[in-house]
Copies of this chain bind each other. A is one copy, B any other.
Amino acid sequence: MRVIVDFTVVPVGTGVSLSAYIAEVERVLQRSGLHHELHANGTNVEGDWEEVMAAIRGCHEALHAMGVPRIHTDIKLGTRSDREQRMAEKVASVRARMA
């Protein structure tokens, strides 16, 4: 099952700056080989359900290994059975409506 996901990892019990942890999240995603896009409030990623979930789990493991004691993650996740959709199409179809 193909999935399009937005997720935000929030380290708890560390300092106020989170960029070192988000950079690690990006590294985990790069190693995963999954198509992903960092944005101001999270990361979009798409692919096979199991591979995407394994990547998010890998982010939790990597951050705990960096010493983060507690992690809160938000995931917004979409699946479709009517047709396959790509992340790039989603933005393009909205822009086409606005032209």
Q: Is the CB of B49 within 8 A of A44?
A: no
Q: Which of A72-98 contact B (CB under 8 A)?
A: 72-82, 87-88, 90-91, 93-98
Number of interface residues of A (CB under 8 A): 59
Answer whether residue A13 sits at the interface, using C-beta atoms and an 8 A cutoff. Answer: yes
Looking at chain A's contact residues, the main secondary structure is mixed
Q: Give min CB distance, A56 to chain B, whole Å.
A: 8
Closest to A68 in B: B81
A residues touching B (Cβ–Cβ < 8 Å)? Answer: 1, 4-6, 8, 10-20, 22-23, 26-27, 37-42, 44, 46, 49, 53, 57, 60-61, 64, 68-82, 87-88, 90-91, 93-98
